[in-house]
Each structure stands twice: as structure tokens, then as C-alpha cells.
Amino acid sequence: MPKPINPDEVGALAFGLAEEIPPGIHGRWHQHARHQLLYAASGALHLETARGRWLLPPQRAAVIGTGVNHRVHSVGRVQLATVYLRPRLLRDVQQDVTVFAVVPLAREMILGAQAWDATWGGRDKVGVAFFTALAGLTRQWMSQALPWHLPALQQAGLQRALDHILAHLDAPPTLAAVSRVAGMGQRTFARALEREAQVGFRALVHQARMLKAMEVLAQPNHGVTDAAYAVGFASLGAFTRAFTAFTGELPKDFRRHASATTATRAR
């Protein structure tokens, strides 16, 4: 079995790495001395930092800043395409994580980066030009960041409440029920949540439902009806309206795009 690659030991200015992650893998906490452009070309990937949790279906990519402690876990089988960039190539990364929509050009360039893997050495002028262009375009894509994540909650009661919400998205719990799980009165819970997460209870539940729906739709054997029922919608029409308002895309289109990509291509 080949030795895992340590990105910080690769000499090249940038390189691509393609790998397949089996279902249900929970990665360890780690960080890199490079920026990391992370893209799940098929399947869906959860990304977690001290600031929150993001879902990365095939239509989304993330830039993880240098030195940011993070971990991932897979939802189903994931075809992962990663590009590692030295900080001098991608400057002024302000956030620990920035998630953005993957336009066709972004997808092709992220997948195309795999032609220059950890062994290329950084001496190919075409490769240098490619990664310089990719870094410049990535800065542009990052300017259209998407705030689709769930907050990381430090207070134990709030974290219990969030875990309870995530475990019951098929029948979303009420404020009263969640407050009891948190061990607080409803007003106290609502104020504490607003203060720590900068989001209200109803908005938090809605974000959790929509992110879960995206996760379901990214799986090959699940349809729009499955996603709607998984997040507590009895009406497909109501689900479609809510999902489209949240993502800007019809559920059926989201599902089609999620199933249309693979992380490896014939070179």
C-alpha cells in the first residue's frame, strides 16, 4: 500500500491529489502549511472546523486556509479532488473556510490539476502557469462565498440542542422541545443561541433541513421525494419552493448535477 502523501513535504508550488473515500469515514483533526482547495466531484463531504460545519456536494468547493485545524467525513462514497497551494500563490485568504459554487470552469480546472500530482516537481512551465491561473480564478470564485454552514457551538447545552435537531430532521422539533434538551427556558435558549451562533432558532432549523436535503440528493439512489421526507416535508411542492429559495436551484436539477460528475478522467 503506498505511503500517504504529506502535502507539506511536497516541493512544488502547487499540486493536485485525487482519492476515493469509502462511505462513513471520519477523518482526524489536522492542518496544513498550504491552502487547500477541496472538491467532492461525486458523493458529499462534511467539513468541520472550530467555526462550524459545511456540506460539500459536487456543486460546491471549499478553500481551507493555511494552518486551519479541520476534519472531514464522507457521506456515501466520495470521489475527492484536492489542490494544495502555497500561501504565496493564493494570497489574502481571510476566512478559515470559504465555500463557493463550482461553475463548469472551476470543475474542469480542479479536475485538470490532477495532471500535476505530488511527483511533478514544479519545474514544468505549463504547470506553473496553470496553477497561477487557477489561484487567480479561485480568488474570484471566493468573492462569491456561500454562507451555507451550521455553527460550531461552544456551550454544552446549545450543542446538545443542535445534535437533537440534526437527529430529528424528519420531524423537526419545536423550540420548547429543543430548549428542554438544552436544559434552558425557551427565552433563555433563544437568547443564548442568537448570541453564540448569530442565528435564530427557526433559521437554524431551516438551514439544517436544507443542508440535509442536499446531502440526500447527492446520493445516487435517492430522489426528490426521499429528500423531502428526510427533512420533514409532507408536500413536494412546499419542499421544492423552500429548497429552490435556499439554493437557487430546483431539487431535481441539483440532483442531476450531483450525479453527473466523477473525480477522475482519462488523460
* DSSP code per residue over 143-172: TTB---EEE---SHHHHHHHHHHHHTTTSP
pLDDT computed for residue 261 by the predictor: 52
Per-residue pLDDT of the chain (267 residues), as tens digits, is 456 789 999 999 999 999 999 988 889 999 999 999 999 888 888 999 988 889 898 888 999 999 999 999 988 888 899 999 999 999 888 778 999 989 899 999 999 999 999 999 888 999 999 999 999 999 999 988 877 789 888 899 999 999 999 999 999 999 999 999 999 999 999 999 999 988 999 999 999 999 999 989 988 888 999 999 999 999 999 999 999 999 889 999 988 877 665 333 333
pLDDT in the model for residue 93 = 84
Distance CA 50, CA 151 (A): 9
Q: Say what the pLDDT of residue 147 is.
A: 72
Residue 128, pLDDT score: 95
Give CA angle at 54 (53, 58), nearest 5°.
Answer: 155
Helices (H), the chain: 104-112, 125-142, 156-167, 175-182, 186-197, 201-217, 224-230, 236-247, 251-258
Give the 3-state secondary structure of residue 12.
coil
Q: How far apart are CA 72 and CA 185, in angstroms?
A: 34
Q: At which residue does the C-alpha cell 460546491 appear?
A: 60
CATH class of 7-142: mainly beta
**Per-residue pLDDT, 2:** 55
DSSP state of 89: T
Residue 115 per-residue DSSP state: G
Bridge partners of 42, per DSSP, are: 79
Instruction: Report the SS3 class of residue 85.
Output: strand
Cβ count within 10 A of residue 109: 20
Identity of the residue numbered 234? A
C-alpha cell at 206: 431551516
The DSSP bridge pattern shows strands 60-64 and 97-101 to be antiparallel
DSSP summary character for residue 219: S
pTM of the model: 0.81
Q: What are the boundaries of each domain within the chain?
A: 7-142, 153-258
Which pLDDT value is given to residue 41? Answer: 87
Query: Could you count the other beta carbons within 10 Å of the beta carbon of residue 166?
Result: 15
Burial class (CB in 10 A: 0-12, 13-18, 19+), 77: middle
Pairing of β 149-151 and β 71-85: unpaired
For the stretch 178-210, what's the b/e string if a residue is b when 16 or more beta carbons lie within 10 angstroms of its beta carbon?
A: bbbbbebebeebbebbeeebebebeebbbbbbb
Judge whether 42 and 82 are in contact, CB under 8 Å.
no
Alpha carbon 98 to its chain's center: 9
Domain 153-258 = CATH 1.10.10.60: yes
Question: In whole angstroms, what is the distance from residue 103 CA to residue 109 CA?
Answer: 10
